[in-house]
Amino acid sequence: MKPRALDLFCGAGGVSMGLHRAGFDVVGVDIRPQPNYPFPFIRGDVTALDPRGFDFIWASPPCQDASIGAARWKAAGKKYPKLIEPTREKLEASGCRYVIENVVGAAIRPDLVLVGPMFGLKTWRRRHFEISGFFALQPPLPPRQGPKTTPGFVTVAGNGGHGPNRIGAFREALGIEWMTKPELREAIPPAYAQFIGEAALCHIERIAA
């Protein structure tokens, strides 16, 4: 039987696909409908969910509160929910090995930092990962790249992205074939989750042995 992974705030399933490729059976949870999500799905409030009973839990709380791009909206009085702290409390209480993923500036430990070129992807998409219960080795961080310096590079962001403004270019840049443009803007490349999932799986198998 495969180990089970829970993907909280799963969106359209970029993380889940990576965990699936790493060797997990994956279940996703999100408060919004996700018609393009490719695995078993639970629609519900993550903060009200009991996450126990899984071998590995991934959480990607919405990043708007920490996003640099949202600073002007926050200055205008718009408020975003702070979900990292309650999510961490829930994961710690579960006793399960877990990862919390978020953007630069979010209130998480940067135990691991990943960017697209580490995996041959044509986008930078730097993300930080707080890891508990296992470890993953940090790959060397390559020089900064972007659409202005690297031909074919794409920045896929909340404002629609920079570089070739075609959905095919966005999908290729992230290594995702099934998402719409709005879904791609919020997605984590499956390669990131596969890298971390393989490290978690090694730990699980080592403990089982």
Q: DSSP secondary structure string, 139-187?
A: PPPPPP--TTTSTT--B--TT--BSS--HHHHHHHHT-SS--HHHHHHP
Q: Picking from 22-26, 71-75, 162-166, 171-175, which range would have the lowest pLDDT averaged per residue?
A: 71-75
The full DSSP string for 178-191 is S--HHHHHHPPPHH
> Which has the higher per-residue pLDDT, 48 or 127?
127
Domain 4-140+188-208 in CATH 3.40.50.150? The answer is: yes
Sign of torsion, CA 83 44 174 181? negative
pLDDT at 156: 86
Record the pTM. Answer: 0.91
The pLDDT value recorded for residue 163 is 56
pLDDT digits (tens, 9 = 90+) for 155-176: 887 655 555 568 899 999 999 9
1 pLDDT band, cuts 50/70/90, is confident
Which pLDDT score is estimated for 81? Answer: 78
Reduce the DSSP state of residue 29 to 3 states and report it.
Answer: strand
Mean pLDDT, range 201-206, rounded to an integer:
95
Q: Is 106 left (phi over 0), alpha (psi -120 to 50) or beta?
A: beta
Q: What is the pLDDT of residue 64?
A: 63
pLDDT category at 76 given cuts 50, 70, 90 is low
Q: Where are the domains of the chain?
A: 4-140+188-208
Residue 69 · residue 159 · CB < 8 Å:
yes
Contact (CB, 8 A) for 197 and 19: yes
